[in-house]
Amino acid sequence: MIKVRIFMGVGKRLFAQALELGFAFSFALHAADRPNVVLIIADDISPDFSCFDGPVKTPAIDGLAAGGVLFENAYVTASSCSPSRCSIITGRYPHNTGAPELHMVLPEGQFMFPKALKDAGYYSVMSGKWHMGEATRPAFDVVDDAHYPEEPTGAANWVQHLQERPMNKPFFMWFAAFDAHRPWEADTEETPHDASKIVVPAGVPDTPIARADMASYYDEVRRFDRYVGGVVEELKTQGVYENTAIILLGDNGRPFPRSKTSLYDDGMKTPLIVHWPEGKFKVGSRIQSLVSAIDIAPAILEVAGLSVAPQVQGISFLPICREPEVQTREILFGERNWHTQRSCGRMVRCGDYVYMRDFVPGSYSFQMVDSETASYVELLRLKEEGKLRPEEAEAFSTKRARERLFDVSKDPKQLNNLAGNPEMNGTMERMRAMLDTWQERTGDSIPAIEDMTPDRHDRETYERLFPGMRPPEGVVAGQEAGATEINDAGPIR
């Protein structure tokens, strides 16, 4: 106290300058010690990694899982690229971000966790696939948005960004791959997967052409793993691996029928892995607790020691990483909105049950934009021949069930709809109530069918009707309720 008074006698201005310099020096020292964060986002990849008992050998990703934690019941909020990514960066449901449909950009004024990190002194970089719009650029110091096909992986500059970062600041890296988005590129570094050994998932025709299509997808999943391995090796080389939280997931499921754009688990489940040696995790855990992609933002803010903004609707999953028996949520929700064509549905997962409600059961779900792509061409051929299995024919149905209920513990492929089973009446009532409450509290207003964003392609000929990525916008989910101003997350228990 005496020293302060003596120093003040020299002059308030000098004292203020000294304090400012001292604070800056202290902050720099503190910043260098703070945890780094690397978020790695795969494109169109389901839990097909070998550490998830999937068919593709992924040694780098398996290593992260072995030294971290693996979530077996993690879900994205939408099985469509840009809505999912806008949800991740904000920690908000798609209809609350104001960008619930494909190729919609995040509006100005939405909270973005990378911006909070940047404001707190983190060096913030985005490298790879962008797909969120201009308003998200200020969240990063560097935006290296790769363009396909000039850079087909999206991952070419990841290691370079780690090498060129300022060494006196903590860093956040948003690494977003193009793998395994269509179209495919041949993997010239390893032997291609054998199509004859492929087992196709439900909804994909079991034909040589479809199996070869799936084999090419496997090749890109494996290539993604190699780029993840390059990031891990660079972090180790720099000596920052121990103090870096690595979070890895996909933006939505594999790009095949009944997966991407659907509410089934093959579209909505994501392979979430979290690795942070200094986080005191129970390493090697395979966690059953439900986790949503909106929980990533609060988890990363917690890693950085920052408070969670009121706009964030997710819940940090870090407590589960340390105590796998912990449950931070018992309920999660998902959305299906426009993805090159009119669609609207909602999903609730609670316990072992998944409930779906289809708001446009008369509009078939076959993705017209993919009508000339291998597995989808096979669907069309088998349709003409009258040889589709029920789960394949569903894509063309205009009389789909408005409600579906699945017990995924007994029916993981979700083929047996329990919605009409009298024994499930109580479960149906509870799940309906959960969805109704969530929609009301979060402002998930569903527009009238005739007001929705129209199809980009003709439903008979599949010819393109509108230039550009989107037709003139219709009314989108949440718009009529002003959902972008609503922060309520709805029920979690």
- Per residue of the chain (493 residues), give pLDDT as tens: 222 322 233 333 333 333 333 433 333 334 558 999 999 999 999 999 999 999 999 999 999 999 999 999 999 999 999 999 999 999 999 999 999 999 999 999 999 999 999 999 999 999 999 999 999 999 999 999 999 999 999 999 999 999 999 999 999 999 999 999 999 999 889 999 999 999 999 999 999 999 999 999 999 999 999 999 999 999 999 999 999 999 999 999 999 999 999 999 999 999 999 999 999 999 999 999 999 999 999 999 999 999 999 999 999 999 999 999 999 999 999 999 999 999 999 999 999 999 999 999 999 899 999 999 999 999 999 999 999 999 999 999 999 999 999 999 999 999 999 999 999 999 999 999 999 999 999 999 999 999 999 999 999 999 999 999 999 889 999 999 999 999 999 999 9
pTM over 0.85: yes
> What is 35-331's CATH number?
3.40.720.10
Number of H helices, E strands in the chain: 14, 14
What's the CA gap between 46 and 419, in Å, rounded? 26
Nearest Cα residue to 75 out of 249, 258, 244, 321: 249
What does the domain layout of the chain look like in residue ranges? 1-33, 35-331, 335-485
The number of beta carbons lying within 10 Å of the beta carbon of residue 423 is: 7
- With H, G, I as helix, E, B as strand and everything else as coil, classify residue 275: strand
Bridge partners, residue 248, by sequence: 40, 273
CA atoms within 13 A on the CB side of 337: 31
Q: Is 426 exposed, middle or buried (0-12, 13-18, 19+ CB in 10 A)?
A: exposed
Q: What string of DSSP letters covers 209-230?
A: HHHHHHHHHHHHHHHHHHHHHH
What's the CA gap between 334 and 84, in Å, rounded? 10
What's the CA gap between 444 and 423, in Å, rounded? 30
Which element (helix H / strand E) includes 59? helix 59-66
